[in-house]
């Protein structure tokens, strides 16, 4: 019997299934990043000290710990394009 790893199925380092090749939504999230969202507020990063670029998502009201911390390359289903930002 041949296992999924030998078949080269998705998630096992193999190829892409025919259904995934025809998927029209395959790259849909590439333009829906936090960095291009109107709810994203970037935090000033200091790359000299090894800090990564971070920001806050202000889509929903803050919790007790504040607004969620997100990376510019993260994405979610609530994305709303900010027309004043281009990546």
- Residue spans of the domains in the chain: they are 24-87
Query: Mind giving me the DSSP string for 10-62?
Result: TTTTS---HHHHT-TTTTGGGG--GGGBTTEEEEPP-GGGTPPPEEEE-SS--
Q: Are 74 and 36 in contact (CB under 8 A)?
A: no
Mind listing the pLDDT tens digit for each residue in 19-63? Answer: 667 766 666 667 788 998 999 999 887 767 777 789 999 999 999
What is the per-residue pLDDT for 53? 85
Average of pLDDT values for 4-11?
A: 49
Question: What is this structure's pTM?
Answer: 0.58
Residue 6 has pLDDT above 70, yes or no: no
What is the per-residue pLDDT for 81? 80
Of 41, 35, 36, the C-alpha closest to 66 is: 41
């Amino acid at each position: 019997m041949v296992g999924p790893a030998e078949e080269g199925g998705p998630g096992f380092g193999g190829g892409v299934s025919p259904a995934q090749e025809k998927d029209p939504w395959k790259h849909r999230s590439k333009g829906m990043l936090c960095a291009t969202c109107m709810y994203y507020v970037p935090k000033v990063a200091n790359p000299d000290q090894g800090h990564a670029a971070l920001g806050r998502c202000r889509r929903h009201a803050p919790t007790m710990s504040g607004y969620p911390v997100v990376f510019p390359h993260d994405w979610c289903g609530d994305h709303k394009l900010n027309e004043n930002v281009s990546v």
